Amino acid sequence: MSRRKLSEAELDRALAELEWAREGEELVKTVVLPGFTDALAWVNAVGALAEEQDHHPDIWISWNRVTLRLTTHSAGALTEADVELARAIDAMA
């Protein structure tokens, strides 16, 4: 998994196929689930993917709403690692 900073064109192409928004140097996704237990289960599934890819999102949970933020801190930017994890998370849904 590449930790190379993506160009603006590469990010635009990735965002066209992802269910994520870009906020500066982060990819952001908010999911609303039926309840807190569902939110926790979804976060655990995301955590398993993150462990597999050795790339971890920032996670915020509020009852039935989960917000994920992806960035590659070591690169100070968005990288292919962020896009790959975003794709995997989108495929879970």
- 3-state SS class at 71: coil
Which pLDDT score is estimated for 54? 95
Which pLDDT score is estimated for 93? 67
Domain 8-92 class in CATH: alpha beta
- Please give the model's pTM, rounded to 2 decimal places: 0.92
Domain ranges of the chain: 8-92
Cβ contact 87:55 at 8 Å: no
How does pLDDT run along the chain (93 residues), one tens digit per residue? 678 899 999 999 999 999 999 999 999 999 999 999 999 999 999 999 999 999 999 999 999 999 999 999 988 899 999 999 999 999 986
Strand partners, 31: 66
Distance CA 86, CA 10 (A): 14
